[in-house]
């Protein structure tokens, strides 16, 4: 590439990415930084001038486990041809890192989203309506909880709550009021449950909660979710009591994630319009 082309490419890079509200890095196949913007440098804790040639400093995932090296992550996305999103706790920031393969060039584009970024900037991870973690982030958290249960001898419970009267609310009050109902339920769940539980929007009219505990079952968590989500909400001057169905499953971590999900979803499909019957006991809810 000629000097003129190189200069032009640098100008285009600077113009396009220098002021983006996310960190952007271009890496080679070995994980070394070729170029990056100012926010990426700030998140990595280095001056912008030191980005070229830099290798990502050691980091941890959200559970505290060491992360693969930048070279290993770059090799993975180039080998599979699929993007990868992982949480990173770096020395100077807590971020979500999206690795995108640029296969013809043998390079990787890395986008760094600060955890404290606004919801629209985290749209792939957070639900845009409620601000809760979305399905992808929920699955990541559930996977980590199952791993800890398996390795530490603890338990992980997944609770699903289905607001099954949403169609009726939308029909009577409009979709905007239906969104207000979902937002109100999300707020109650987040405020009314323990801070170390993951409360997520599972999709559509469903919410999910991941809870870790040393013993027992998810029955108490499910009861609390049912109580919080089932409270009446004032919508357009009327008190609306959402009908809520709740199912739960508790695992010691031996069952794979997809089996835990399939089990609780199957139970929810076979639950009637009322809450789970009292005789539905936790001893049946620990897939191995």
Closest to 143 (Cα-Cα) out of 127, 134, 156, 125: 156
**What pLDDT score was predicted for residue 249?**
95
Domain ranges for the chain, please list them: 3-122, 135-284
**What pLDDT score was predicted for residue 113?**
80
- Could you check whether 3-122 and 135-284 share the same CATH topology? no
Q: Which CATH superfamily is domain 135-284 in?
A: Reverse transcriptase/Diguanylate cyclase domain (3.30.70.270)
The encoded tokens of residue 285 equal: 């809810």
Residues listed for the chain: 288
Per DSSP, 218 falls in state S
**What pLDDT score was predicted for residue 287?**
53
pTM of the model: 0.58
**What pLDDT score was predicted for residue 6?**
55
**Greatest C-alpha distance within the chain:** 76
**What pLDDT score was predicted for residue 61?**
61
Spacing of C-alpha 98 from chain mean position:
13
> Which residue carries 């792939």 as its tokens?
124
Parts of the chain with a pLDDT under 70: 1-15, 57-66, 116-125, 271-288
**Is residue 70 classed exposed, middle or buried when 0-12, 13-18 and 19+ CB atoms within 10 A define those classes?**
buried
**What pLDDT score was predicted for residue 222?**
95
- Helix-helix angle 175-192:166-173, to 10 degrees: 130
Of the options 3.40.50.2300, 2.40.50.320, 3.30.450.20, 3.40.50.1820, the CATH number for the domain spanning 3-122: 3.30.450.20
Separation between Cα atoms, residue 137 and residue 284, nearest integer Å = 27
Q: Which helix (H) or strand (E) holds 39?
A: helix 38-44
């Amino acid at each position: 590439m000629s000097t003129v082309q190189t200069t032009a490419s640098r100008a285009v890079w600077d113009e396009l990415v220098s002021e983006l509200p996310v960190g952007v890095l271009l890496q080679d196949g070995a994980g070394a930084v070729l170029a990056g913007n100012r926010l990426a440098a700030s998140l990595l804790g280095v001056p912008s001038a030191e980005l070229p040639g830099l290798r990502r400093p050691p980091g941890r995932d959200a559970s505290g486990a060491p992360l693969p090296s930048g070279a290993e992550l770059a090799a993975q996305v180039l080998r599979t041809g699929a993007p990868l999103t992982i949480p990173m706790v770096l020395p100077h920031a807590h971020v979500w890192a999206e690795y995108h393969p640029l296969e013809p060039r043998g390079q990787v584009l890395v986008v760094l989203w600060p955890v404290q970024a606004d919801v629209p900037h985290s749209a792939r991870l957070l639900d845009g309506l409620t601000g809760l973690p979305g399905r992808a982030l929920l699955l990541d958290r559930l996977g980590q909880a199952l791993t800890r249960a398996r390795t530490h001898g603890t338990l992980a419970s997944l609770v699903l709550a289905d607001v099954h009267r949403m169609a009726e609310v939308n029909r009577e009050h409009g979709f905007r009021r239906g969104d207000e109902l979902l937002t109100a339920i999300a707020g109650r769940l987040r405020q009314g449950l323990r801070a170390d539980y993951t409360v997520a929007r599972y999709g559509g009219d469903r919410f999910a909660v991941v809870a870790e505990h040393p013993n027992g079952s998810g029955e108490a968590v499910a009861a609390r979710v049912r109580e919080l989500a089932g409270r009446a909400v004032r919508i357009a001057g009327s008190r609306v009591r959402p009908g809520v169905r709740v199912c739960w499953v508790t695992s010691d971590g031996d069952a794979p994630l997809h089996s835990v999900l399939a089990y609780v979803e199957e139970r929810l499909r076979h639950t009637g319009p009322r809450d789970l019957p009292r005789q539905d006991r936790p001893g049946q809810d620990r897939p191995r």
